Amino acid sequence: MSVNHQQLKCYTSKKSRAIAVVRKT
């Protein structure tokens, strides 16, 4: 579960970053 939570956090961070890039563009 700990690993899954970390993976989810990484995925969310990546997604959030991607959205930020799209908004900036």
Reported as a single tens digit per residue, the pLDDT across 1-25 is: 566 788 889 889 999 999 888 887 7
**Locate tokens 């993976």: which residue?**
7
CA distance 10 to 4: 10
- The pLDDT value given to residue 13: 93
Rg (CA), the chain: 11
CA distance 5 to 19: 21
Largest Cα–Cα separation, the chain:
36
Q: In 1-25, which residue ranges form alpha helices assigned H by DSSP?
A: 2-24
- The pLDDT value given to residue 2: 67
